[in-house]
């Protein structure tokens, strides 16, 4: 039986968070702290923790591949929020180690404590055949379900998330700010988007629910039916008060670039972002999701559609002297 607990309440205990040195987890750590929660974060020994300085979070050295550190992370927690994951790689094994086995390990560590558990999955989990990343996100959800037992669990499936601190979508928006944008998706494709603070608000709403909810939920910024590339460019053009030239990148060229990027990454010994699987994700025509189930379950409503999100992220449309493509807030 779950009772109504609020952050100021001594019973509230600790929220364990993974991925706090990353884009979404970092934003979430800030939001959790400003809402008054005690936060314990898992940080890898070599991670750059500069963004966590002064936040007042308890840092625990460990790794998703180290079961003992996960045990310490979740000890006596009220909730576990699992934001760590890998979006770069080539082979299923590279993704599964973190996105599947990591989820299973963390859930296994948590289950005896019976916190409520939130997994940051991805809308990509809806299309597991597209890429090893997408498959790993779906299998991560399945691993959580298999381990959860009586523990209430939620998996959120956001579409592309953007905001201060983002490293994936931001370069594309910055190109738009300069008046030119490579269009990587297929003509006619539609996709939902989500501003990072709306995602954080959904997580807080889940945390503040009196009852532990369980289920898989999609969520987006409230722009029903998603965006087309034309709509995104039109919004950016208005904010920047300039024409933005679209340069469609043919699928064949993207595939060639992806092949090249994989070969170079092998030589360099790093995990690439642009891969054949990523190209199939980018060319997928339908990344539109809906908020019906999550709004009912969590009474969450998004606040920030794209124009406002770009204003907040890049300072666009805020008058002269501002918005020259700089990021006004740090992640």
Ligand X SMILES: NC(=O)c1ccc[n+]([C@@H]2O[C@H](COP(=O)([O-])OP(=O)(O)OC[C@H]3O[C@@H](n4cnc5c(N)ncnc54)[C@H](OP(=O)(O)O)[C@@H]3O)[C@@H](O)[C@H]2O)c1
List of residues contacting ligand X (CB under 6 A): 18-19, 21-25, 42, 44, 47, 63-65, 83-87, 98, 120, 122, 137, 158, 160-161, 168
CA 87 to chain centre: 10
Provide, rounded to whole angstroms, the least separation between the CB of residue 317 and ligand X: 23
CB of 316 to ligand X, least distance (A): 19
Q: Provide, rounded to whole angstroms, the least separation between the CB of residue 65 and ligand X.
A: 5
Complex with ligand X: residue 286 or 318, whichever CB lies closer = 286
As given in the structure block, the two tokens for residue 78 are 């009220």
User: For residue 169, what are the contacts with CB-CB under 8 A and spacing of at least 6?
Assistant: 160, 161, 162
**For ligand X, which is the closer residue by CB, 158 or 309?**
158
Burial of 131 (C-beta count, 10 Å sphere; 0-12/13-18/19+): buried
Question: Which residue's CB is nearer to ligand X, number 100 or number 237?
Answer: 100
Q: Which is nearer to ligand X, 28 or 181 (CB)?
A: 28
- The least distance separating ligand X from the CB of residue 217, rounded to whole angstroms, comes to 13
Q: How far is the CB of 245 from ligand X (least distance, A)?
A: 25
**Closest CA relative to residue 288, chosen from 167, 196, 163, 190:** 190
CB 115 within 8 A of CB 148: no
**93 vs 253, beta carbon nearer ligand X:** 93
With CB atoms as reference, the residue minimizing the distance to ligand X is 22
Which residue number, 23 or 153, has a Cβ lying nearer to ligand X? Answer: 23
Residue nearer to ligand X on the CB measure, 81 or 207? 81
* Nearest CB to ligand X, comparing residues 6 and 61: 61
284 and 127 in contact (C-beta within 8 Å)?
yes
Cβ of residue 116: shortest distance to ligand X, in angstroms?
A: 18
CB count in 10 Å sphere of residue 214 = 15
User: Cα-flanking dihedrals φ and ψ of residue 254, to 5°?
Assistant: -60, -40
Run of H or E residues at 31: helix 23-34
Sign of the dihedral defined by the CA atoms of residues 26, 27, 32, 36, in that order: positive
| DSSP notation for 219-288 | ---S-TT-B-HHHHHHHHHHHHTS--EEEEPPHHHHHHHHHHHHHHHHHHTS--S--HHHHHHHH-SEE-
Q: How far is the CB of 70 from ligand X (least distance, A)?
A: 9
What is the closest distance, in whole angstroms, from the C-beta atom of residue 148 to ligand X in the complex? 18
């Amino acid at each position: 039986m779950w009772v109504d607990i609020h952050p100021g309440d001594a019973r509230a205990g600790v929220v364990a968070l993974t991925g706090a040195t990353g884009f979404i987890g970092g934003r979430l750590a800030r939001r959790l702290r400003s809402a008054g929660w005690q936060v314990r974060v898992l940080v890898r020994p070599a991670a750059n923790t500069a963004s966590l300085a002064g936040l007042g979070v308890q840092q625990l050295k460990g790794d998703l591949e180290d079961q003992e550190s996960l045990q310490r992370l979740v000890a006596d927690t009220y909730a576990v929020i699992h934001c760590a994951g890998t979006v770069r790689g080539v082979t299923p094994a590279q993704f599964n180690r973190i996105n599947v086995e990591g989820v299973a390990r963390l859930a296994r560590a948590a289950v005896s404590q019976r916190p409520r558990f939130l997994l940051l999955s991805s809308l990509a989990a809806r299309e597991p055949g597209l890429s090893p990343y997408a498959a790993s996100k779906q299998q991560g959800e399945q691993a959580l379900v298999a381990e959860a037992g009586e523990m209430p669990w939620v998996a959120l499936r956001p579409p592309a998330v953007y905001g201060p601190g983002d490293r994936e979508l931001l370069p594309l928006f910055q190109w738009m700010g300069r008046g030119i944008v490579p269009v990587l998706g297929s003509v006619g494709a539609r996709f939902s988007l989500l501003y990072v603070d709306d995602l954080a608000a959904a997580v807080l709403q889940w945390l503040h629910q009196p009852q532990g909810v369980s289920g898989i939920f999609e969520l987006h910024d409230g722009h029903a039916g998603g965006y087309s590339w034309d709509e995104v460019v039109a919004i950016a053009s208005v904010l920047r008060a300039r024409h933005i030239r679209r340069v469609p990148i043919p699928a064949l060229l993207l595939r060639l670039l992806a092949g090249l990027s994989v070969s170079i990454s092998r030589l360099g010994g790093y995990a690439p972002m642009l891969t054949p699987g990523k190209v199939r994700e980018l060319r997928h025509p339908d990344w539109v999701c809906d908020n019906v189930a999550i709004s009912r379950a969590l009474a969450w409503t998004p606040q920030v559609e794209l124009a406002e999100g770009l204003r907040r992220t890049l300072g666009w449309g805020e008058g002269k002297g501002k918005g020259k493509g700089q990021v006004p807030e740090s992640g």
